[in-house]
Amino acid sequence: MFLPILALIAWTLLIVIWMAVVRMPEMMRASRAGNAPGNYATKIEAEQNFSPRTRWKGDNANNLFEQPTIFYALALITMLSGHADFTAVWMAWAYVILRVLHSLWHCLVNIIPVRSVIFFLSTLVLVIMTIRLGMQLFNYMPVLPNM
């Protein structure tokens, strides 16, 4: 489980770097035109200076700090509880691969219906991982005494 976790962390950092690299020239261009991002009260106002393709990278970077936090917690609980078997690791890799595909689609093409399907599939993997781990943990919980 460590490798899928590390892979998704590395992917997130790569997207953040990609976002910064594409934003820098646009921020410098906006600054020269008197539209420096620091002149705006909100992030939304500042991002109006960015092209859609540049905004997509920032939006995806934000996405990678949202739902994947559930994955990180779930993967760690799976490892700590001793349930990181072949199926759990395979599902973790499936989640990471789907998130990479989601990122690439979001950053490069961004046709929303396709992106939504990829996102749904990654969410489905998380749901299955959660149910599976919950069932495993429930089966190993001690029986509470009658009160």
Residue 32 lies in a domain: yes
Domain with residue 52: its CATH number is: 1.20.120.550
Q: What is the mean pLDDT of residues 91-95?
A: 98
pLDDT surpassing 80 at residue 123: yes
Residue 146 lies in a domain: no
What is the model's pLDDT at position 46? 66
pLDDT surpassing 80 at residue 40: no
Model confidence band, residue 74 (pLDDT cutoffs 50, 70, 90): very high
What is the model's pLDDT at position 14? 98
Residue 144 lies in a domain: no
5-8 long-range contacts (CB < 8 A, ≥24 apart) are: 5/71, 5/72, 5/75, 5/76, 5/92, 7/93, 7/96, 8/64, 8/68, 8/71, 8/72, 8/95, 8/96, 8/99
Residue 98 lies in a domain: yes
Residue 50 lies in a domain: yes
Model confidence band, residue 5 (pLDDT cutoffs 50, 70, 90): very high
Residue 54 lies in a domain: yes
What is the model's pLDDT at position 48? 72
Total domains present in the chain: 1
Residue 61 lies in a domain: yes
- Give the Cα separation of 78 and 122 in Å (integer): 18
SS3 34: coil
Per the structure, the complete domain to which residue 64 belongs is given by 2-139
Compute the mean pLDDT over every residue in the chain, rounded to the nearest whole number: 89
pLDDT surpassing 60 at residue 121: yes
Residue 127 lies in a domain: yes
